[in-house]
Structure 1
Amino acid sequence: MAKVLVLNASYEPLNITSWRRAIVLLLKGKAVEVEHNGKLIYSDFPLPTVIRLRHYVRVPYKEIPLTRRNILHRDSHCCQYCGYLGDELTLDHVIPRSRGGGDTWENLVTACVRCNVKKGNRTPDESKMPLLKNPRKPYSSLYFEITKHLKTGMHQEWQKYVIGA
């Protein structure tokens, strides 16, 4: 079903919610509509795609779990050595575990089987296989979720509310 981006009073992304919850926030006067897609719920009541809260809400930092799925999403399901896009992708340790490299956002990248085997137990410099982009931890879990929606081609109106997406 349709998802709605919820912005804080300061226009920073706060949450992604269902369209039903967004309508409740609008009807209770807790939020205002910022964007809609032209679809109507009732006559003269458009379906919102972005709403903004009337009052500022403080949000605690939320850690993003380090999972295979999240690494693949961060790297856009693309080998970070050769650029291969496909289904047969593995995770590679930039600094091999045998050399003290750990399971961290900065040390794990997506790699095709061929590049992973070719690199072996060496660093990218030693194997003369430079990374396409340096791995880093994503900004926030919400930023991570919003970029997933943007990559599917849906909710392009959210783009202007996300820095770096």
Structure 2
Amino acid sequence: MSKVLVLNASYEPLNITSWRRAVVLVIKGKAEQVEHNGRVIYADFPFPTVIRLRHYVRVPYKEIPLTRRNLLHRDNHTCQYCGTGSEGLTLDHVVPRSRGGGDSWENIVTACVRCNVKKGSRTPKEASMPLRNPPRKPHSSLYFEIARHVRGGVHQEWRKYVIGLN
């Protein structure tokens, strides 16, 4: 069945849960319904798609590892220069390593082999190859799961609760 986005009291995404768990939290008064999809579970109770906890929950910060898989997820498995979604994507340093560019979320993007070779050891500006999306560090590991749902066209209403989701 459908999934529900759980927000902290501060509207920060916390989790994705089942619709049943979300309904229990709303009925018990521990959460309030923020968004619904128009369907009803029973009279005057719409089917929730986003709920917000009434009390703030402290969540410890967890560093997201800079891995090829996470970079591909962040960039939606597409070349950040031409937009193709080919199988043979490579990783490209926006500021090349030969010019002091390091391995960071803000300096690595996915690129097709053709664009990576064309750019060479130049910056995107020097190569006249603007980036489609500026590289940025994801704010949480939950970002990837939310992005998958939104990009899949399932929960477009979640988009406004996630920073950096395009």
TM-score, normalised by the number of residues in structure 2: 0.77
Gaps of 5+ in 1: none
Provide the residue aligned with 1:107 in structure 2: 107
Distance (whole Å) between structure 2 residues aligned to residue 157 and residue 108 of structure 1: 29
2:124 and 2:130 in contact (8 A); partners too: no
1:135 Cα offset (Å): 2.1
Distance (whole Å) between structure 2 residues aligned to residue 160 and residue 97 of structure 1: 35
1:19 is aligned with what amino acid? Answer: W
Deviation string 1:20-73 (CA, Å, 9 cap, x unpaired) is 321232233211222222334456544311111121212222222222232123
Distance (whole Å) between structure 2 residues aligned to residue 163 and residue 82 of structure 1: 24
How many equivalent pairs are there?
Answer: 164
SS in 2 for 1:103: coil
1:5 Cα offset (Å): 0.8
Provide the residue aligned with 2:127 in structure 1: 128
1:87 is aligned with what amino acid? Answer: E
Gaps of 5+ in 2: none
1:105 and 1:135 in contact (8 A); partners too: yes
Distance (whole Å) between structure 2 residues aligned to residue 157 and residue 136 of structure 1: 22
1:59 is aligned with what amino acid? Answer: V
Deviation string 1:111-131 (CA, Å, 9 cap, x unpaired) is 1111223344x1326972534
Provide the residue aligned with 2:91 in structure 1: 91
Q: 1:157 to 1:141 in 2, by over 3 A?
A: same
Distance (whole Å) between structure 1 residues aligned to residue 80 and residue 3 of structure 2: 31
Q: 1:136 to 1:42 in 2, by over 3 A?
A: same
Distance (whole Å) between structure 1 residues aligned to residue 142 and residue 41 of structure 2: 27
2:96 and 2:123 in contact (8 A); partners too: no
Matches within 5 A, 1:1-150: 1-42=1-42, 45-97=45-97, 101-120=101-120, 122-124=121-123, 128-132=127-131, 133-150=133-150
1:100 Cα offset (Å): 5.5
TM-score, normalised by the number of residues in structure 1: 0.78
